Structure 1
Amino acid sequence: MAAAGCRGVSRVLEKLENSIKNGDYYEAHQMYRTLNFRYLGQKKYNDLKELLYQGSVLFLDVDQKTSGADLGLLLIEALEKSEEKDCDAWSPKLSNIFAKIGPDHTTEREHFLIQAVKWSSQGNTYGNPTLHQCIAKIYWQELNYIQARHHYIRSHDGKGCAKLLIEFQMTKGFKSEVDLFIAQAVLQFLCMSNRMTANQTFTTYTENHPKIKKNRPPFLLPLLNFLWFLLQAVETKKLQTFAVLCEQYQMSIKRDPCYIQYLDKIAQIFFGVKPPEKKNSGGLFGNLLENFLGGLDDDSDEETPQPSQSRASTSRQILQSTDLD
């Protein structure tokens, strides 16, 4: 039975080769699907995955986008059924298919990408970082800065992300937005608990942006100083430092309404701040003060100072060792 099965597959492969040589792509596509069915039944996953990848690339190279994308989807199904775990090894291949589908075939491309990211989400809510890095580079080459940035934020490539942001800011942004482009990226990395990439992105951006060329304070732009101090505070996990930073840089933080939301989540992730119980609470600053004063109650038996006194005292203590704008 096994020998008969092998002979049957060999005949299909021979027909497939002849169909491709003759330019009969429809017949070739049907042959690939036949092989897919047979290989799945025989659990020849390794052979099947390579066959589908090569077939997808072949069709895409001759501008048979629909057939190529279809084989790409069958490849992802094969990866799932074979319980393939090596996302890093397959990410460049899946990205190659994605690139060859091209931006003009939006429906096929988006569907393929969704399935690829879904498959790569093994132990990572946001998908495999290597896959996102590969996809980001493709979008960048196509000058699709928004999508490139989206995928870089889900990668671990801080250097690549920073260089993209510099080009994005210089070609599409205003001069006054030099600090805004990096601020949102750093805060989003931190909201995803990706502290190391946030640091790498900030350092690379400030070192290489022609309007900055510096990676340590004092910066001319207050928001950059805030980000630098924030990254240090995240590393030490000192709530009082974080609270003072947010207080001292309120004007910079208020430049974008999203910053408050990001910082609220960062406070919960890195500083153990509890989410506000009421929607009409004092917001981030009120919540920070409440958590900080709660910590003082736990750590000291002395008389609890008034909120305004505690805030001023803490500010002076931090500012003695740290210069803030």
Structure 2
Amino acid sequence: MEPQQNRGISRVLEKLRNSIRSGEYYEAHQMYRTLYFRYLGQKKYNDLKNMLYEGCLLLLDADQKGSGADLALLLVEVLNQSEDKECAIWTPKLSTIFLKIGRNNTTERDAFLVQVFKWTSQNSSQGNAPFHQSIAKIYWEELNYSQARYHYVHSQDGKACAKLLIEFQMVEGYKNEVDLFIAQAVLQFLCLRNQITASQTFNTYTEQHPKIKKTGPPFLLPLLNFIWFLLQAVETKKLQTFAILCEQYQKSLQRDPCYVQYLDKIGQIFFGIRPPQEKRSGGIFGSFLDSFIGSLDEESDDDLAQGQQKPSTSRQPIENSDLD
């Protein structure tokens, strides 16, 4: 019975292929949708997924972007309904679909991407890292630097991310933003708890960017030194070092208002700093540093209770020559 059923499916697929080759795109699209509902009701998920994937590619290759994208969305629905968790198998195929939909069909492409990431997020709230990496490469090839950067930050490919950032900075950035491009990326990696890729990205960027003199660390740009020290502090998880760094480099960190928010999150993740309860005097940065000092005071009280002496605040001086 099963071989006969497979022969029937093969005949249907061949008929659909011939319809597309003959230019009968509308008829083929409607037949795919009819079979979608039929197979879905019969829970023939594997046959349905393979059929939709092939039909999607055939229509996209025939420049029927709307119909192809429609089948692509149906494919993702089936992946969800069948509870298929084989990301390693399907994400390369979904990346191919994304590429073939093309940059000129942003509405269909974006809708498809949103649904795919919902499906890949079943195992991780940040989505599937290899899929992010594949999408980043496609955007990079299309010179869509901002989107490529976003997806690389959610991947685990620090070397490629750094190379993208170098090109992005040199093509669209200002001369005085060499350090800003890498600083923001590293801070975002750390907020995503991805310190390994953060370090890999920073090292590759500072080693290969032609505008960064190969003398560091220490670097000529203070913000690069801050990031380098921060990565060391994250490794050791020493709260006092983190607090001192943020205080000593306050001027550099004020170049981008987002840095305080990133560092607040990093402090909570890696150093156990409590979230700020309210705004205090001195603006957002003053409140930020006050939360460090409060955490340090608590840490010192615990140490003293155990008969251990440690500095109680972040106010212990560091030589500027050691930091800049």
- Shared topology, TM-score over 0.5? yes
Q: Could you say if the C-alpha distance between residues 303 and 141 of structure 1 is closer, same or farther in structure 2, counting changes exceeding 3 Å?
A: closer
RMSD over aligned CA atoms reads 2.5
The 3-state SS of whatever aligns with 1:79 is helix
1:6 deviates by 5.9
Whether 1:296 and 2:300 are equivalent positions in the alignment is yes
1:306 deviates by 10
Contact kept, 8 Å, 1:135 with 1:148, in 2: the verdict is yes
Q: Could you say if the C-alpha distance between residues 129 and 104 of structure 1 is closer, same or farther in structure 2, counting changes exceeding 3 Å?
A: same
Q: What does 1:180-195 align with in structure 2 at a 5 Å threshold?
A: 180-195=180-195
The 3-state SS of whatever aligns with 2:273 is coil
Q: Could you say if the C-alpha distance between residues 215 and 275 of structure 1 is closer, same or farther in structure 2, counting changes exceeding 3 Å?
A: farther
1:135 deviates by 0.7
1:74 deviates by 1.1
Which TM-score applies when normalising by structure 1?
0.91
Q: Could you say if the C-alpha distance between residues 289 and 9 of structure 1 is closer, same or farther in structure 2, counting changes exceeding 3 Å?
A: same
Q: Could you say if the C-alpha distance between residues 306 and 239 of structure 1 is closer, same or farther in structure 2, counting changes exceeding 3 Å?
A: closer
Alpha-carbon distance in 2 for matches of 1:305, 1:33: 70
The 3-state SS of whatever aligns with 1:122 is coil
1:81 deviates by 1.7
1:4 deviates by 8.3
Whether 1:284 and 2:283 are equivalent positions in the alignment is no
* Structure 1 stretches lacking a partner, 5+ long: none
Alpha-carbon distance in 1 for matches of 2:310, 2:85: 56
Contact kept, 8 Å, 1:153 with 1:161, in 2: the verdict is yes
Q: Can you list the C-alpha shifts for 1:50-100, whole angstroms capped at 9, x where unaligned?
A: 221111111111110001001111111111122111213211211111111
1:112 deviates by 0.4
Q: Could you say if the C-alpha distance between residues 80 and 213 of structure 1 is closer, same or farther in structure 2, counting changes exceeding 3 Å?
A: farther
Equivalent position of 1:55 in the other structure: 55
1:21 deviates by 2.9
Contact kept, 8 Å, 1:20 with 1:28, in 2: the verdict is yes
1:35 deviates by 2.4
- Aligned identity (percent) is 65
Q: Could you say if the C-alpha distance between residues 163 and 10 of structure 1 is closer, same or farther in structure 2, counting changes exceeding 3 Å?
A: closer
Alpha-carbon distance in 2 for matches of 1:303, 1:124: 41
Equivalent position of 1:83 in the other structure: 83
Equivalent position of 1:248 in the other structure: 248
Contact kept, 8 Å, 1:216 with 1:228, in 2: the verdict is no
The 3-state SS of whatever aligns with 1:300 is helix
Q: Which region of structure 1 is more displaced relative to structure 2, 272-281 or 290-299?
A: 272-281
Whether 1:223 and 2:223 are equivalent positions in the alignment is yes
Alpha-carbon distance in 1 for matches of 2:11, 2:309: 85
Equivalent position of 1:45 in the other structure: 45
Q: Which region of structure 1 is more displaced relative to structure 2, 108-117 or 3-12?
A: 3-12
* Structure 2 stretches lacking a partner, 5+ long: none
Equivalent position of 1:173 in the other structure: 173
What residue identity is the alignment partner of 2:317? S
